[in-house]
Amino acid sequence: MTPRKLITLGIESSCDETGIGLFCSDRGLIAHQLYSQTDIHAEYGGVVPELASRDHIRRVIPLIKSSLLDAKLHLSDINGIAYTAGPGLAGALLVGSAIARSMAWSLNIPAISVNHMEGHLLAPLLEEDRPEFPFVALLVSGGHTMLVDVHSIGKYKILGESVDDAVGEAFDKTAKILGLGYPGGPALAELAKKGDKNKYKFPRPMTDRPGLDFSFSGLKTYARNTFSKYPDNKADIAKAFEVAATQTLMIKCRRALEQLNYSSLVVAGGVSANLSLRSELDKMCNKLGARAFYPRQEFCTDNGAMIALAGHYRLSAEQFNDDSEITIKPRWSLEELNAI
Ligand code: KG4
Ligand code: ZN
């Protein structure tokens, strides 16, 4: 029996991006749309949760409508609605959850709660050149930095994570110290292009001891102290920070690949858009005879396509609960998920 064609709608609303994706079991990703709230939060220098929720509410239905229009589909063509249930901002998550569960109830189809970090982790599988299981995943976003042993979809073991700031957060905070805009990561990376990599040497935290945990809060302090001494050398400080952060990530990825004896590394989450990080990891993988896989640039940061994909796997495996209660999980570890 050939499996039934399934179309999954994905809704992302965990932070400051409203994302919609439509994934079809036989055609792959058929539409995706994104509305970024960065302009709203920029004047506050960071995400304001209440403003985020209010804006998701405004954007989500028009984005679903235009994604369906793009894919030339009707609501009645959808077989399941996946939404980010966590981790993330509670009010923002409630928007996606309420919309998804209400639509699913009225259409009499399943609603599927998706873990945001699993969405990031699976995003490289939207590309044609896909990694094979098992692999090591480095997840680097604004809220998380972790290394994961990915045995198969849903079977995850966290090998190490940040004991303080996430690396994206350290990029953002360092950018703020240097007076760059919000979000700081891309702005800092842009400025670092003009910097001299030999001017300052920042530490590579926690690389001189065994283990796969990270610590990034010290780098930001290092940047602050250097900046107060040399306020005219912003680009060199940005470069020193970027080199230290990316080399620290590279050292731990190498350690994880060697420890597990795996030959594929998946890198996902907002910071995986960083080109210096990619080149550092590609060089390391080349030397090891391994390969690194990334999402396309637009799917590194938050998006609806990755949620539609993660939802598609759960829907195909009939892994969802029929509960119509609007539930969210603002804290939700990858290790709590079920294997498919
Ligand atoms: O995955 P994401 O969109 O949101 C979370 O789930 O947190 O990641 C956002 C983070 C921000 O900290 C942002 O500054 C960082 O990713 N980021 C970058 C770059 N692009 C985004 N950091 C460094 N270099 C970049 N090119
Ligand atoms: Zn994210």
Fill in the amino acid letter for 75: L
Residue 123 near ligand 1, beta carbon < 6 Å = no
- Measured in degrees and rounded to the nearest 5, phi and psi for residue 262 equal -100, 155
pLDDT reported for residue 2: 58
Could you read off the pLDDT tens digit of each residue along the chain, which spans 340 residues? 556 899 999 999 999 999 999 999 999 999 999 999 999 999 998 999 999 999 999 999 999 999 999 999 999 999 999 999 999 999 999 999 999 999 999 999 999 999 999 999 999 999 999 999 999 999 999 999 999 999 999 999 999 999 999 999 999 999 999 999 888 999 999 999 999 999 999 999 999 999 999 999 999 999 999 999 999 999 999 999 999 999 999 999 999 999 999 999 999 999 999 999 999 999 999 999 999 999 999 999 999 999 999 999 999 999 998 777 888 999 999 999 999 9
Position 183 scores a pLDDT of 85
Asked if residue 186 has its Cβ within 6 Å of ligand 1, the reply is: yes
Reduced to 3 states (helix: H, G, I; strand: E, B; else coil), residue 292 is: strand
Q: Is the CB of 191 under 6 A from ligand 1?
A: no
Per residue in 102-125, is it b (16+ CB within 10 Å) or e — as a string?
Answer: ebbeebebbbbbbbbbbbbbbbbb
* Residue 196 CA, ligand 2 centroid: distance in Å: 31
Q: Are 186 and 169 in contact (CB under 8 A)?
A: no
| pLDDT computed for residue 1 by the predictor | 58
* Amino acid 106: pLDDT: 96
- Cβ of 19 closer than 6 Å to ligand 1, yes or no, is no
pLDDT at site 255: 98
Determine the distance separating the centroid of ligand 2 and the alpha carbon of 245, expressed in angstroms.
19
Question: What is the reported pTM?
Answer: 0.97
Whether 269 lines ligand 1, by a CB cut-off of 6 Å, is yes
Ligand 1 center–CA 263 separation, angstroms: 26
CB count within 10 Å of CB 256 equals: 20
DSSP state of 337: S
Ligand 1 contacts CB of residue 301 (under 6 A): yes
Q: Which atom of ligand 1 is nearest to the CA of 300?
A: 1
Residue 100 has a pLDDT of: 97
Distances (CA, A) of 12 to 72, 288, 308: 21, 36, 9
Closest ligand 1 atom to 185 CA: 14
